[in-house]
Amino acid sequence: MTALIPRPAMEIAPGAVHLPGWLTLERQRELVTACRAWATGPVPIRHTRLPRGGVMSVQTVCIGWHWQPYKYTRNADDVNGERVAAFPDWMVQLGRRALLDAYGDAQGAADYTPDTALINFYDGQAKLGMHQDKDERSSAPVVSLSIGDTCVFRVGNTETRTKPYTDIELASGDLFVFGGPSRYVYHGVPKVYEGTADPDTGLASGRLNITMRVTGLTD
């Protein structure tokens, strides 16, 4: 048996915090089961089409609000017109716990009420280019959970898609929170290490990433 070397919690930049191994295996399994159900509908998981004709290599399904470039709507008019699945309360609670553990700010965590999640599935070839999460009207932190294959996660700066940036590895069970001065950092996933997932998560291959956000929108 290989000994696991503990990876310490790290503040990558002010407000950008990496907590390795934050999700228990059981919680990862529950999330995989929930994501599998959301991937089937009411709005099925899809490769998002970009306005200039490109298609993202990552597959995405949303809950709470549907994201399409570059807005949030309740109904997925670019997929099948259906309303996306509701954002469950247990996910709000998970987001609050993530924020508390990342920042240690009890009030900030209690006030955090994410209302959308983008659930991305990466096969071994999928990548995500450097971008900012800026379609939300709220500047509340983004909570990111990873399950399955390990990836390289690139954390850049708020000004440009290019250097300076820091590459870290996000492995199964890792939590990454970016808020405060890092809320609008460019970030992306240049590489997924195929075949590194622990099948005990329920995900035999690939990588799942869930980002919870606060849209700041009302119906």
Beta carbons of 29 and 40 less than 8 angstroms apart: no
Least CB distance to ligand AKG at residue 132 (A): 9
Beta carbons of 208 and 34 less than 8 angstroms apart: no
Q: Using CB under 6 A, pick the residue from 133, 135, 169, 198 that binds ligand AKG.
A: 133
Q: Using CB under 6 A, pick the residue from 120, 150, 172, 201 that binds ligand AKG.
A: 120
- 177 forms beta bridges with 17, 143
* 18 among annotated binding-site residues: no
Q: What are phi and psi of 21, to 5 degrees?
A: 60, 35
128 forms part of the interface with ligand AKG (CB under 6 A): yes
201 forms part of the interface with ligand AKG (CB under 6 A): no
Of residues 137-156, those binding ligand AKG (CB under 6 A): 144, 146, 153
* 219 among annotated binding-site residues: no
191 forms part of the interface with ligand AKG (CB under 6 A): no
**How far apart, in Å, are the Cα atoms of 147 and each of 25, 27, 52, 89, 171?**
9, 10, 31, 21, 7
213 forms part of the interface with ligand AKG (CB under 6 A): no
215 forms part of the interface with ligand AKG (CB under 6 A): no
Nearest CB to ligand AKG, comparing residues 171 and 219: 171
| CA pair distance 171, 1, nearest whole angstrom | 19
| CA pair distance 152, 192, nearest whole angstrom | 6
Tell me the number of residues near ligand AKG by CB under 6 A.
Answer: 12
Nearest CB to ligand AKG, comparing residues 106 and 186: 186
* 187 among annotated binding-site residues: yes
187 forms part of the interface with ligand AKG (CB under 6 A): yes
Least CB distance to ligand AKG at residue 209 (A): 3
Nearest CB to ligand AKG, comparing residues 106 and 195: 195
Least CB distance to ligand AKG at residue 107 (A): 27
| CA pair distance 178, 185, nearest whole angstrom | 8
Residue numbers at the binding site for ligand AKG (CB under 6 A): 118, 120, 128, 133, 144, 146, 153, 170, 187, 189, 209, 211
Residues annotated in a binding site for Fe cation: 131, 133, 187
